[in-house]
Structure 1
Amino acid sequence: MDEDDFRDYLPASFGATGGGFDVEAQIETVRRKVPGLPEPKPKSSTSSKGDSDSDDDSEEDSEDEDEYPVSHGIVFKTHDRPVTTITLDASGSRMITGSMDCTIKLHDFASMTPNTLRAFKSVDPTFTKSSANSETHPVHTAKFNPNSPSQVLVISATPQARVLSRDGETTTEFVKGDMYLRDMNMTKGHISEITSGTWHPHNYNLCVTAGTDSTLRIWDVNVRNKQKDVIVHKSKLAGSAGRSRMTAVAWGSQVEGGNSLLVAAALDGSLLMWGGDGPWNRPSGEINQAHTSNTWTSGIDISADGRLVVTRGGDDTVKLWDTRKFKQPVNTTTHVSTSSQYPTSNIQFAPNSSFIITGSETGDLYILNPATLKPELVTPITPGSPLISVLWHDKLNQIVTGSANAETHVLFNPKISSKGALMVMSKQPKRRHIDDDPSLTTDMSQGVSGDAIVNPGAANEAIKGSTYSSRHPTIGLTASGKSRDPRRPHIPATTPFSKSQPDQKHIRESIPLSSMREEDPREALLKYADKAQNDPIFTNAWSRTQPKTIYAELSDDEEDGPQKKKQKN
């Protein structure tokens, strides 16, 4: 080998090098190629004065492209079933998604790279250590506290709401009410399934939950054994019982930083509004037929200034309401509902209330004009699979969507978005290492024997833990084959030696009295019955001195037996 060839063969430096990585090219790899979005213009090295018209056209195209953060997108496939809820903290560094697979997934944008788009933790919010056989339930709502990023309100298909930390640990579990009490004002909590919930816009200690027991309950996170206030909705269409399921609730701010505003929807078609700080005796505004009765109004949201309320009903309509004239809708449009199959399908105002976003049955993202409710942009996200949950984050200026095919899409635009998915795609892909594959690593606590590494019980544990692993794909098994499920008891290891059975010849010759294992004990004892009677071994010592039993002789008068004593009166 020549010296020049040898020099080219040897590395010039050691460690990571920053050269050769093009951030813009990597971001362009996730550009969405869908109809309706402008294609990127190729960069030209020279420009002439006569191209002023083309420059004006390109500027107009760029303005249209920069209006909505939907030009690029990344996909998370961390759930097994439809994604029902999405939430991000105020800074946009952490994302939590909930699903019908009964789990919530925690994602951290700062720790992800383009080839490691996965959740760092999976949590079953209804699991409790006190009950190893506790049931699991789909997750309806998960929302970060806007005033305290360390708290997450999680609502599953149970009567008890929970407050989790940003790391998924349960800090508060609200109490369940007494289902045998008829007066809902006397119960300490919900007596049936909770459908929705949200936080107070200013007070970080308060949250509200809406239940199928026809009540809204306001909770203080520091008091778990009883709600702070109860709002009972008495439906006029529910007959003598007067109960109707509450389907959605929103808590927003009023104009110019005044009192908060609480708006809720019920299954009987009612839309109710209260002052967010009370009193709760009767609603300040009520519309009985806001949507068709017995249809599920799944989405409701309040604008940033508190003047507008948008609702998405189960009667295939989207309606806009004015809180100052809370009688008739300002505008109405037709929009196919998915609430019958996915009751958490939501609708939301953009951060500056300039747009309204929602999903559709066909998997398209609709960006509506709040004045006319006409679509400004319709872009496909998951064609053929309904789009359930949507979220437009104000600080990141990115749109996050959850679909029925278990995919979570984060849409962004490099020109107007910041951090979040843009930060992930700006990193160099992580180099795969052998230690990243658990099937190729070994838990050394099991020890090493000879030339081979034996993992006792790995196959059995893999089969028994398959149910839990399918529901918790990020937990699974350790490298040694043990299950990480805290509910699964420890199963002793099964070695190849304990499975082998010695032959009968070895047992007969080596183990004394081994033939007695196959002998009937009753027949074995009956063999010695005659011998024990004729030649007793243990009772032979007193056989001659044993006294004889003597019975009294009966007289002629007592042939029928001894007379019984007369009972005293």
Structure 2
Amino acid sequence: MDVDDEAMRQYVPASFGKQDNSVNVEAQIERCRRKIVDESKPQAAAKDASLDSDKDSDDDDSDDDEDEDEFPVSHELVIKTHDRPVTTITLDPSGTRLVTGSKDSTLKLHDLSALTPTTIRAFKTVDPFETKPSAAAEAHAIHQVVFSPHSGGQFLVITATPQARLFSRDGDMIKEYVKGDMYLRDKLNTKGHTAEVTSAAWHPSNRDRFVTAGTDSTVRIWDVNKSLQQEQVVVHKSRAAGSAGLTRMTAIAWGAAAEGNKSVIASAALDGSLVLWGGEGPYHRPLGEIRDAHVKDTWTSGLDISSDGRLVITRGGDDTIKLWDTRKFKTPVNTTSHPSTSSQYPTSNIKFAPNSASVITGSETGHLHILNPATLRPELLTPVTPGSPLITVNWHPKLNQIFTGSANGQTTILFNPKLSTAGALTILSKAPKKRHLDDDPHFTTDMDPLGMSGEGVEPGGKPGPAPGSFASRHPTVGLTASGRSRDPRRPHIPQTTPFAKSTPDEKYVRENIELSSMRDEDPREALLKYAPKEGEKNVFTGAWEKTQPKAIYKDYDSEDDEPNAKKAKR
């Protein structure tokens, strides 16, 4: 009888009514705890392996826990985003929208507030080149994706092309900035970059300005709303022998200045130089220049400015990391050895922590390095993707979580439940989504835009509404399978072709072409604006009054005395 009772309980519920389906959040978070936190302290691992119960070991363990809680790296959440290396990661200021770029020429958009532990995936994949049919056969890697720090509504996309692109937070392209004429030798006369753009940065306080650096040896400052020409051009004159005054710009950063309200732009070049410019101009002379900041012909991939504008950190292709002081911009404050991955992954970056108290970067072994900016010594060394190089890092200030991208296409979120907020914790606080029957494509049916059943086939072979369906009962409501309206009174909207996409409309002409508003102006009224009033001096045609004879016309007493019109010729 006992065996039968147990079998019966497996099929019959023990209680009735509404069940409590609350999720155990602490258990879900605990499953994300990382085994190895810090490899820079091997003695700590040995102490954790030992099972000593004396008082001294307890004190050491408590000290290790305090060190572990200093940085948000105690837990991790893995997102398999791309099939090829992840080259760049960016988040909006609120920390809800995550965008990753890869060598597979695609962008992945994630909504962190809508993900669940079983549905961690991108909600949209964007190809930046799908808007151009001519570029369908081309595939360019994504160099950099940068969200605007002032509003989460748009982000810049830098690809291996001369044109920067502006996208909305939903993945729709807003603007494509102009490409310069590559046959002009004077770089100051081109309207845009004439070669590949490598890096970009937003203005720290002005939401309408950003800067780009390219391999055409120029730094260009743009207005977000003007895509046909940049605002300013700064040509980097290389001092290296044999370069003919030109070199490739490898990285750029725009940050607040150490003193005053102005900003500074720091740029690195392939000739090993590091240049500091005034962010608000003038741009004819740099604030400071170091010719041999790194070894010549090595790719300086990482560059960042601290939040107070006093320090600049660089990660060069000569296997070094150097710290610079903007107030004494001559020699590095500190230098440390760090193997470079810029030869294979040119977007390997280095970043200051939000409070500038730490510096983070990746390594070829897949470890995350958290360095002390004063000494550049590792404060924490933790493996993220062992055996796969860690390319890009991002420490979000609001979430207090570290996002990393690796060469195996994996994006990892490092966090600490005691220090972090939202982000990964929001995902783990939700119940796992149960698999629905509709998730299997073999059991789904095609639905029309109104959510009703699909169309059938009429006896004549033409598609038509199925008998008894919603479409058959309401023949003029909704859309057909091809997207056309069933209402015969509604005009048909022509399909948008690639030619129509490239044809400028009235709004585009008015906003992007200068003086285009003159097309709607009456030329006679425009000329009469300059006509002199009574008593005023004629400025434009006053000289003619002295040289031109006065017209003399005959006066007629009545209309009858006026000469008749010429007779028509026979």
Other-structure match for 2:65: 62
Q: Are 2:255 and 1:252 equivalent residues in the alignment? A: yes
CA contact (8 A) 2:393 2:404 kept: yes
Contact 1:127 1:135 in 2 (8 A): no
**Amino acid paired to 1:109:** L
Alignment pair present for 1:24 and 2:26 = yes
8 A contact 1:124–1:136 mirrored in 2: no
How far 1:61 moved relative to its partner? 3.0
2:264 maps to amino acid: L
Q: Displacement, 1:55?
A: 6.8
For the pair shown, the structure with the greater C-alpha radius of gyration is 1
Q: How does 1:279-298 map to 2 (within 5 A)?
A: 279-298=282-301
**SS class of match (1:332):** strand
* Code of the aligned partner of 1:122: T
The answer to whether the aligner puts 1:169 opposite 2:169 as a matched pair is: no
Does the 8 Å CA contact 1:392/1:398 hold for their aligned counterparts? yes
Shift of residue 220, structure 1, vs aligned partner: 0.4
SS in 2 for 1:255: coil
1:145 aligned to 2:148? yes
Change (3 A) 1:169 1:368: same
| Matched residue SS, 2:129 | coil
The percent identity for this pair of structures is 63
What letter is aligned with 1:290? A
Residue-by-residue CA offset, 1:362-404 (whole Å, 9 max, x unaligned): 1111011101111111111111111100011111111110000
Residue of structure 2 in register with 1:475 after alignment: none
Contact residue 165 and residue 171 of structure 1 kept, 8 A: yes
TM-score normalised by length of structure 2:
0.73
Equivalent residue, structure 2, for 1:224 = 227
The residue that corresponds to 2:381 in the other structure is 378
The Cα of 1:237 is off from its aligned counterpart by 1.1
Distance 1:350 1:421 in 2: 19
| Corresponding residue SS for 2:153 | strand
1:76 aligns with 2:79: yes
Which portions of structure 1, spanning 4 or more consecutive aligned residues, are displaced by more than 6 angstroms? 4-8, 50-55
1:399 aligns with 2:402: yes
SS of match in other structure, 2:29:
helix
Shift, 1:151, TM fit: 1.3
Question: Counterparts of 1:265 and 1:210 in 2: how far apart (Å)?
Answer: 9
User: Structure 2: how far apart are the matches of 1:444 and 1:171?
Assistant: 31
**2:281 match:** 278
Separation in 1, partners of 2:218, 2:108: 29
Secondary structure of 1:149's counterpart equals coil
**Counterpart code for 2:410:** E
In 2 relative to 1, CA 266–16 (structure 1 residues): closer, same or farther, beyond 3 Å? farther
Q: 1:240 to 1:94 in 2, by over 3 A?
A: closer
Corresponding residue number in structure 2 for 1:123: 126
1-structure distance, mates of 2:29, 2:9: 37
Q: CA deviation at 1:65?
A: 1.5
What displacement does 1:15 show? 6.5
Listed one character per residue, the Cα deviations across residues 273-330 of structure 1 (whole Å, up to 9, x for unaligned) are 0111111101110000000000000000001111110000000000000001100001
Q: What corresponds to 1:106 in structure 2?
A: 109
Q: 1:356 aligns with which of 354, 359, 372?
A: 359
Instruction: Answer whether contact 1:337 1:361 (CA < 8 A) is retained.
Output: yes
Which residue of 316, 319, 327 corresponds with 2:319? Answer: 316
8 Å CA contact 1:152, 1:165 repeated in 2: yes
Task: Indicate how the Cα distance of structure 1 residues 275 and 408 shifts in structure 2: closer, same or farther if over 3 A, else same.
Answer: same
Q: Which residue of 2 aligns with 1:426?
A: 429
2:446 to 443, 459, 464: 443
Q: 2:272 aligns with which of 257, 269, 281?
A: 269
Residue equivalent to 2:214: 211
Match of 2:193 in 1: 190
Describe the SS at the equivalent of 2:139.
coil
The yes-or-no answer on 1:136 pairing with 2:139 is yes
Q: CA deviation at 1:17?
A: 3.0
Q: Displacement of 1:171 after TM fit?
A: 0.6
SS in 2 for 1:324: helix
Partners in 2 of 1:15 and 1:487 — Cα distance? 54
Q: Which residue of 1 is the match for residue 451 of structure 2?
A: none
Structure 2, unpaired ranges of 5+: 449-453, 458-495, 499-570
Q: 388, 399, 417: which is aligned to 2:391? A: 388
Counterpart residue number, 1:540:
none
- 2: CA distance between counterparts of 1:123 and 1:487? 19
Secondary structure at 2:427 match in 1: helix
Write the distance in 2 (CA, Å) between the matches of 1:315 and 1:254.
Answer: 28
Residue of structure 1 equivalent to 2:469: none
Instruction: Give the counterpart letter for 1:170 in structure 2.
Output: M
CA distance in 2: counterparts of 1:7 and 1:268, whole angstroms: 73
Shift of 1:109: 0.8
Give me the whole-angstrom Cα distance separating, in 1, the residues matched to 2:393 and 2:9: 57
CA distance in 1, matches of 2:204, 2:275: 18
Q: Where does structure 1 lack aligned partners over 5 or more consecutive residues?
A: 43-49, 450-485, 489-569
Residue deviations 1:487-545 (CA, integer Å, cap 9, x gap): 99xxxxxxxxxxxxxxxxxxxxxxxxxxxxxxxxxxxxxxxxxxxxxxxxxxxxxxxxx
Partner Cα separation in structure 2 for residue 16 and residue 221 of structure 1: 54
Distance 1:289 1:218 in 2: 25
User: Residues 389 and 76 from structure 1, CA distance in 2 versus in 1: closer, same or farther, beyond 3 angstroms?
Assistant: same
Other structure's SS at 2:113 match? helix
**How far 1:60 moved relative to its partner?**
2.5
How big is each residue's C-alpha offset from its partner over 1:460-503, in whole Å with a ceiling of 9 and x where there is no partner? xxxxxxxxxxxxxxxxxxxxxxxxxx999xxxxxxxxxxxxxxx
Q: How does 1:456-475 map to 2 (within 5 A)?
A: none
Give the total of aligned pairs: 442
- How far off is 1:58 after superposition? 5.1
Structure 2 CA distance for aligned equivalents of residues 56 and 296 of structure 1 = 46
Whether the aligned pair in 2 keeps the contact of 1:127 and 1:134 (CA below 8 Å) is no
User: Which range is displaced more, 53-62 or 421-430?
Assistant: 53-62
Q: Partners in 2 of 1:115 and 1:245 — Cα distance?
A: 45
Secondary structure at 1:61 match in 2: helix
CA contact (8 A) 1:127 1:136 kept: no
Any residues of structure 2 matched to 1:542-557 within 5 Å, and which?
none
Alignment correspondent of 1:410: 413
AA in 2 matched with 1:368:
L
Pair 1:8–1:102, CA change in 2 (3 A): closer
Alpha-carbon deviation of 1:434? 1.4
Secondary structure of 2:64 counterpart:
helix
RMSD: 2.6
Aligned match of 1:241: 244
Higher alpha-carbon deviation: 10-19 or 408-417 = 10-19
Q: 2:35 aligns with which of 33, 36, 40?
A: 33
